[in-house]
């Protein structure tokens, strides 16, 4: 369901009982932790128990809450008791759901010893209905969360960030009427700044209901009839003030049926490409970006306060655009970006090493894409759906990602589709992006690390990029430096702020000569945890590995490169 903040809900955030089960022995019939049993006789026993002294805060990753769990990649059981007046709810025809903002990576959910279902994927929301299973009075919810990296996972086993596990996002009980507004899409048609072409979906036993959409500020009051599938087409025109980074105008939109009513603040803007330009509200825009991981204070970021700190840091840099790497970030951040006027690239965790030959992979990619788009398709801030990062071309990969791009457009025809590709090949001073996926994209992202992972093929000013008739974003470029460490600006192995700053100055000289460049996003806003980083300069407190490409340290301290990018953004600002 969409628009959780507007619904009748009870937060289950806070302290949950926890049971660490690193070998996942409790998921089978032997120990059967999921049955949540209580001994009923002197010879009745079971080999597990929830110790009241072992608790975890939800939302939050389990790794950083207890020192012994820091590098756990395995399963943890969560248990939470709640009271519910099921008898009254049934008399009044109310339905009850449990909604998870995210659980990394696989979650199995049980209520009072009965399985509700499972979910795969650590960064998208999911829910289960409890209406027919919830008891009058006390209930116990158990969630088995397993963050083991898997060859067939999305992402797969190898990735360059910390594998935070657990119930990392909000958990809520949500009540709805028997027939309720399940979802809606109220956005401008792709070719207009006045015309909305959307829909409302009603779910329940009587979905053929009249639907009403109102925007009082504009005098909009539209009525439609849902069909047998619960879907009502919503079309109207209005003199919208377009949402933009300079003025992120939001309108209060009311969506209702005779049984249910929701309201939400929504922005209206257009995003399109024309040749090699990106057009926001019909005007060419340059994306002054930065990449962002969902991490703060050495843990998974999960709250609105966390999101505000991260977005304020990006705004202080001069950014109008963030690439949310390498997975969908939490809903607090996306909604806050709507209010703050920051453009977003929201991305699937389709990262290096994905097994596109796996026959089940396409179905799982489709499911994850639908969950990502379903949550955020009414957010004006989101202008690009990213479908992959640094995946090598193969017949299976090319076909799977081209199909995913098309599915993205079917689910949401109002936004652009992009992917971050490996850096260009070069022949002499000519640089060419030869990935066949270019043809399937609206905007081509390129990750290039000339001067860091790859030697410079030519002098920056001599580089000639081959045009491909589409907008180019440099979705990653960067070098590593430890905050406060000074050294040669000509030696990469110095790991110095001086080298990192010089790296960016050299990169910007090259990029100034690319006429179809429509934005850049340095990698990355702040240093972040990554166990694959093994160099002494990449170690933080207690020896933990960090990717040191941040413009800020993990503590928010500015490096010299921050000033280089800030000054550049001041120069290119309209």
Contact (CB, 8 A) for 128 and 117: yes
Enclosing domain of residue 15: 4-176
**HSE (CB half, 13 Å, CA atoms) of 451?**
23
Q: Are 291 and 401 part of one and the same domain? A: yes
Q: In the listed set 145, 176, 207, which residue is the last one of a domain according to the structure?
A: 176
**The residue to which tokens 């299976």 are assigned:** 396
203 and 240 inside one domain: yes
- Could you say which of 118, 153, 176 is where a domain stops? 176
Helix (H) or strand (E) holding 509: helix 497-511
What are 517's strand-pairing partners?
A: 472
**Which CATH number belongs to the domain containing residue 194 in this structure?**
2.60.40.10
What pLDDT does residue 285 have?
99
Beta-strand (E) ranges in 204-239? Answer: 210-215, 220-225, 231-237
Asked if 228 and 201 sit in the same domain, the reply is: yes
Nearest-10 Cα torsion for 341, 343, 344, 345: 180
Question: Do 365 and 237 share a structural domain?
Answer: no
Q: Is there a single domain that holds both residue 148 and residue 288?
A: no
Domain boundary among 176, 208, 240: 176
**How confident is the model at residue 495, as a pLDDT?**
87
Q: How many domains does the chain have?
A: 3
- Give the Å distances, CA to CA, from 271 to 126, 249, 335, 340, 556: 28, 16, 18, 18, 32
Are 304 and 263 contained in the same domain? Answer: no
Q: Helices marked H in 247-356 — which ranges?
A: 304-317, 331-340
Same domain, 139 and 48: yes
Single out the residue of 171, 480, 154 nearest to residue 326, CA to CA.
154
- Distance set, CA 40 to CA 37, 46, 489, 535 (Å): 9, 11, 72, 56
pLDDT score recorded for residue 37: 73
The C-alpha atoms of residue 66 and residue 84 are separated, in whole angstroms, by 31
- Looking at the fold, whether 439 and 511 belong to one and the same domain comes out as yes
Preceding amide of 524 cis, omega within 30: yes
Outline where 63-152 has alpha helix (H): 86-91
Residues 450 and 516 in one domain: yes
pTM over 0.85: yes
The CATH number for 450's domain is: 3.20.20.80
Of 517, 394, 384, the closest CA to residue 446 belongs to 517
Provide the angle, in degrees to the nearest 10, between the axes of the packed helices 304-317 and 560-572: 70
Cβ atoms of 483 and 496 closer than 8 Å: no
Instruction: Give the pLDDT confidence of 219-244 residue by residue, as tens digits.
Output: 999 999 999 999 999 999 999 999 99
User: Are both 320 and 392 inside the same structural domain?
Assistant: yes
Q: Are residues 288 and 256 in the same domain?
A: no
The residues, ordered by sequence, that sit 6+ positions from 406 with a Cβ below 8 Å of its Cβ are: 440
CB–CB of 420/445 below 8 Å? yes
Element (H, E) at 443: strand 443-447
Q: What is the pLDDT along the chain (574 residues), one digit of tens a residue?
A: 999 999 999 999 999 999 999 888 888 766 678 777 776 655 556 677 787 778 999 999 999 999 999 999 999 999 999 999 999 999 999 999 999 999 999 999 999 999 999 999 999 999 999 999 999 999 999 999 999 999 999 999 888 899 999 999 999 999 999 999 999 999 999 989 999 999 999 999 999 999 999 999 999 999 999 999 999 999 999 999 999 999 999 999 999 999 999 999 999 999 999 999 999 999 999 999 999 999 999 999 999 999 999 999 999 999 999 999 999 999 999 999 999 999 999 999 999 999 999 989 999 999 999 999 999 999 999 999 999 999 999 999 999 999 999 999 999 999 999 999 999 999 999 999 999 999 999 999 999 999 999 999 999 999 999 999 999 999 999 999 999 999 988 887 888 999 999 999 999 999 999 999 999 999 999 999 998 887 877 887 767 899 999 999 999 999 999 999 999 999 999 8
DSSP 134-156: PPSEEEEEEEEEE----TTSSS-
Residues 141 and 166: their CA atoms lie apart, in Å, by 15
Look up tokens 């009839």; give the residue.
225
């Amino acid at each position: 369901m969409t628009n959780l903040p507007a619904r009748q809900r009870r937060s289950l955030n806070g302290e949950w009982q926890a049971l660490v089960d690193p070998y996942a022995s409790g998921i089978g019939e032997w120990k059967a932790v999921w049955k949540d049993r209580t001994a009923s006789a002197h010879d009745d026993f079971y080999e597990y128990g929830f110790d009241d002294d072992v608790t975890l805060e939800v939302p939050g990753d389990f790794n950083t809450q207890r020192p012994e769990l820091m590098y756990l990649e395995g399963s943890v059981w969560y248990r939470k008791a709640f009271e519910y007046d099921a008898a009254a709810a049934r008399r009044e025809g109310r339905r009850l759901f449990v909604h998870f903002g995210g659980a990394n990576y696989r979650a199995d959910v049980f209520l009072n010893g009965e399985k509700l279902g499972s979910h795969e994927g650590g960064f998208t929301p999911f829910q289960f209905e409890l209406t027919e299973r919830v008891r009058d009075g006390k209930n116990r919810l158990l969630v088995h969360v397993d963050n083991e990296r898997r060859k067939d996972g999305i992402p797969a086993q190898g990735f360059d960030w910390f594998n935070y596990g657990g119930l990392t996002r909000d958990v809520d009980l949500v009540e709805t009427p028997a027939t309720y507004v399940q979802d809606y899409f109220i956005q401008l048609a792709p070719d207009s700044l006045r015309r909305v072409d959307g829909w409302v979906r009603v779910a329940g036993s009587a979905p053929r209901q009249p639907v009403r959409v109102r925007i009082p500020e504009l005098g909009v009051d539209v009525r439609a009839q849902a069909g047998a599938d619960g879907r009502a087409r919503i079309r109207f025109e209005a003199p919208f003030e377009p949402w933009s980074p300079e003025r992120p105008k939001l309108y209060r939109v009311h969506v209702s049926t005779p049984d249910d009513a929701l309201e939400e603040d929504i922005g209206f803007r257009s995003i399109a490409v024309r040749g090699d330009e990106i057009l926001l509200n019909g005007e060419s825009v340059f994306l002054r970006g930065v990449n962002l991981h969902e991490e703060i204070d050495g843990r998974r970021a999960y709250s609105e306060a966390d999101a505000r700190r991260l977005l304020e840091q990006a705004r202080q840099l001069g950014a109008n655009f963030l690439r949310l790497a390498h997975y969908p970030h939490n809903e607090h951040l996306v909604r806050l970006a709507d209010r703050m006027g920051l453009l977003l690239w929201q991305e699937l965790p389709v990262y290096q090493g994905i097994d596109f030959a796996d026959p089940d992979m396409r179905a799982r990619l489709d499911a994850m894409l639908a969950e990502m788009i379903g949550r955020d398709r009414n957010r004006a801030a989101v202008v690009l759906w990213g479908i992959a990062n640094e995946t090598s071309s193969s017949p299976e990969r090319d076909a799977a990602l081209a199909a995913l791009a098309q599915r993205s457009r079917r689910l949401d025809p109002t936004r652009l589709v992009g992917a971050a590709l490996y850096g260009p090949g070069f022949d002499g001073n000519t640089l060419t992006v030869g990935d066949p996926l270019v043809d399937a994209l609206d905007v081509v992202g390129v990750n290039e690390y000339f001067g860091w992972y790859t030697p410079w093929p030519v002098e920056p000013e001599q580089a000639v990029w081959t045009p491909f008739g589409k907008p180019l974003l440099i979705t990653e470029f960067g070098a590593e430096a430890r905050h406060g460490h000074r050294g040669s600006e000509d030696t990469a192995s110095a790991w110095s702020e001086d080298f990192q700053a010089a790296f960016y100055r050299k990169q910007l000289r090259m990029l100034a000569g690319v006429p179809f460049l429509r934005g850049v996003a340095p990698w990355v806003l702040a240093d972040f945890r990554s166990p694959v980083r093994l160099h002494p300069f990449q170690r933080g407190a207690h020896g933990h590995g960090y990717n040191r490409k941040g413009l800020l340290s993990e503590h928010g301290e500015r490096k010299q490169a921050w000033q280089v990018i800030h000054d550049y953004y001041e120069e290119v600002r309209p």
